[in-house]
Amino acid sequence: MEKQQSKKPFVRFPEFKDAWEHKRLNELLSEAKKRNEDLKYGKDEVLSVSGELGIVNQIEHLGRSYAGVSVHQYHVVEVGDIVYTKSPLKANPFGIIKLNKGKAGIVSTLYAVYKVNQQTAYGPFIDYYFSLDANTNRYLRPLVKKGAKNDMKINNAYVLHDRIFAPAIPEQKRIASFFTVLDKKIAELKQKKNLLEQYKKGVMQKLFSQELRFKDENGKEFQKWAKKPLGKIGETYNGLTGKTKENFGEGKPYIQYKQIFDNTKIDVSKFDFVQVDENENQNRAKYGDVFFTTSSETPLEIGYSSVLLENVDELYLNSFCFGYRINSFKELSPTFAQYLFRSPIFRKEVIKLGQGSTRYNMSKVELMKIEILLPSEKEQSKISAFLETIDEKIIRTTTQLQQTQQYKKGLLQNMFI
């Protein structure tokens, strides 16, 4: 294990003064050897270990059980047990260590299960300690030997062979209690964000099916929506041509595929750059243009769109997408377009255009044949303003969530040694 420089964390609750002790993990945990020999737990009670979600029911997490023919030799995992999974993850190449906070169940023999020594350790503290990738990797790296198939060569007892710094039980509980409150706040923000997104999805379905309609300033209904093919409302243009990988990385800004796929409007802070000579014949993107992706790995992701709602000097488009320039903003407002082209009704029509087997492509000629229903300019404005209000709430909640997660991460890094 890497040498530690200090026995006291950088950030600490003021009531605690004693130095943390450098303890072997087998002083804090002991191997749990109970097997499911009496078949108390069935295949529907097999647990999985997730880096993000912790220990969860396998069927609830993955949609099915991956248990073997018999589960009688599976390890029993009680609530409060610690589980080490000997499977590499991208951020944790030597596996992860998690506390079972949910229901009791069983795990395959590929996992190791440990009991918490109540005299020296508090389970949630151990869980938070190993929730930091750096701590987990630093601890396991010198212990784990990897086989030819990237499998973990380490017995269950040897996992507890090395040391971590740990305070006395009262400080362990105080730290864990503090992070539990933070986790509750994060869970609440995630739920709020999810509810807002579901609400927006439901409202868009009602708005674009005209089940829900706005009224004018006199309380009267707006005029009937007009049906028009996309080809009559605007025209398409291609992205960059004739470029090689040596041309990218510096020069003029261009819109990347992911910018279009990720959001209904282009995030101008995420442009990449490309070299474009002054006399080159390349199409430039401008305010109000709509961009469509032309290929995807699944038909459900074909033809995603995004709108440029800011003025940017000399902007180009990647070659894997195409642009759509609206003839008149009075006929189709760009702010309305960002929602129209992501609406469930329009997406349903676009998905039908996906052609392919391993990768799906979409014809822009066929896309231009799709007929859309357009409300009046004033009703478009009311619809887009309403949806923008929901978007603003989603953005605020997302920002709060990210800030809280960063705050937690920073404290984890400074409250553990």
Residues 379 and 369 in one domain: no
Pairing of strands 290-293, 305-307: antiparallel
Q: What amino acid is encoded at 356 in this protein?
A: G
* Span 365-402, pLDDT tens digits: 999 999 999 999 999 999 999 999 999 999 999 999 99
Question: At 237, which CATH number?
Answer: 3.90.220.20
Nearest to 104 by CA among 42, 155, 185: 42
Question: At 384, which CATH number?
Answer: 1.10.287
Domains held by the chain: number: 3
Outline where 130-270 has alpha helix (H): 133-140, 169-208, 230-233, 257-262
Structural domain includes residue 3: no
Residues 240 and 368 in one domain: yes
Average pLDDT, the chain: 93
Residues 25 and 161 in one domain: yes
Residues 369 and 407 in one domain: no
* Span 311-320, pLDDT tens digits: 999 999 999 9
Residues 99 and 235 in one domain: no
- Model confidence at 339: pLDDT above 90: yes
Nearest to 125 by CA among 168, 159, 77: 168
Residues 55 and 106 in one domain: yes
Q: CA-to-CA distance for 281 and 255, rounded, in angstroms?
A: 17
Structural domain includes residue 276: yes
What is the residue range of 269's domain? 226-374
Residues 239 and 298 in one domain: yes
Structural domain includes residue 195: yes
Calculate mean pLDDT across residues 138-152: 84
Pull the structure tokens for residue 50: 């997730």
Torsion of CA 318, 324, 326, 332, to 10 degrees: -110
Calculate mean pLDDT across residues 150-158: 85
- Model confidence at 45: pLDDT above 80: yes
| pLDDT the model gives residue 151 | 74
Torsion of CA 357, 360, 363, 369, to 10 degrees: 100
Q: Which helix (H) or strand (E) holds 349?
A: helix 344-351
| pLDDT the model gives residue 1 | 41
| Least reliable range by pLDDT among 217-221, 261-265, 272-276, 334-338 | 217-221
Structural domain includes residue 15: no
| pLDDT the model gives residue 210 | 95
Instruction: For Cα atoms 403, 183, 99, give the angle at the middle one, nearest 5 degrees.
Output: 135
Residues 242 and 382 in one domain: no
Question: At 55, which CATH number?
Answer: 3.90.220
Q: pLDDT-derived band of residue 5, with 50, 70 and 90 as boundaries?
A: very low
Structural domain includes residue 4: no
Residues 60 and 115 in one domain: yes
Q: CA-to-CA distance for 196 and 237, rounded, in angstroms?
A: 35
| pLDDT the model gives residue 133 | 93
Residues 230 and 326 in one domain: yes
The secondary structure of residue 162, as a DSSP letter, is S
* Span 93-108, pLDDT tens digits: 999 999 999 999 999 9
Nearest to 364 by CA among 230, 268, 246: 230
Nearest to 416 by CA among 49, 35, 135: 135
- Model confidence at 2: pLDDT above 60: no
Structural contact between residues 261 and 247, judged by C-beta atoms closer than 8 angstroms: no
| pLDDT the model gives residue 3 | 46
Residues 151 and 288 in one domain: no
Structural domain includes residue 45: yes
Calculate mean pLDDT across residues 55-62: 90
Residues 266 and 366 in one domain: yes
Structural domain includes residue 31: yes
* Span 258-284, pLDDT tens digits: 999 999 999 999 999 999 998 899 999
Structural domain includes residue 5: no
